[in-house]
């Protein structure tokens, strides 16, 4: 049970694995797989372990500006990401994927402070993290944060509201 609780916390889940995590109002669907690893395994026990071991990330996409009206999509689309943990979260190796296609890898020096937020957009303007190829579809879209092939968080939408950020539960 302790292992399950730890894996739920690391995965950002607040319910057991057999329940849906974060069921939000339509049109957002949040996906989360919470599974328990082997408690006794350590990187030293596994000779195939990568040279650089990274702790699991618990990041949440909390808001998306998908269809801005005050400025062009190029200037106004963005993704807001939250670190819900009491520790800083390194974004080294984190990729932003839209519709299954990687748009960018976040700068290796980027991080999110404990309980903090960061905004990802096409330009650095206003202190945002740059993702020059970021482009969000207004209909039937999906944004995922991925590191080393593992999905950290996913948000899916049907129809984006015009000129208003889409909030994720």
pLDDT tens digits, residue range 56-71? 689 999 999 999 999 9
Q: Which CATH class is domain 2-35+53-167?
A: mainly beta
Burial (CB < 10 A; 0-12, 13-18, 19+), residue 154, is middle
pLDDT at 73: 87
How far, in Å, are 58, 108, 135 from residue 153 at the CA level?
8, 19, 18
Give the mean pLDDT of the chain.
74
What is d(CA 136, CA 64) in angstroms, rounded to the nearest whole number? 9
pLDDT at 95: 97
Average pLDDT over residues 123-149: 93
Query: Can you give the residue ranges of every domain in the chain?
Result: 2-35+53-167
Report pTM.
0.68
**pLDDT at residue 23 is higher than 80:** no
pLDDT at 112: 96
């Amino acid at each position: 049970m302790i292992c399950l609780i730890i894996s739920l916390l690391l995965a950002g889940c607040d319910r057991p694995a057999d329940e849906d995590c974060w069921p939000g109002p339509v049109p957002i669907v949040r996906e989360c797989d919470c599974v328990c690893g082997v408690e006794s395994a350590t990187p030293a026990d596994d000779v195939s372990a990568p040279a650089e071991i990274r702790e699991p990330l618990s990041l949440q996409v909390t808001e998306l500006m998908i269809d801005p009206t005050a400025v062009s999509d190029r200037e106004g689309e963005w993704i807001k990401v939250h670190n819900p943990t009491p520790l800083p979260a390194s974004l080294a190796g984190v990729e932003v994927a839209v519709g299954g296609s990687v748009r960018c890898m976040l700068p290796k020096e980027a991080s999110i402070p404990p309980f903090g937020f960061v905004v990802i957009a096409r330009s650095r303007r206003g202190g945002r993290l740059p993702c020059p190829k970021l482009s969000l579809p207004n209909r039937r879209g999906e944004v995922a944060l991925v590191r080393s092939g593992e999905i950290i968080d996913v948000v899916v939408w049907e129809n984006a509201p015009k000129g208003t950020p889409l909030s994720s539960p």
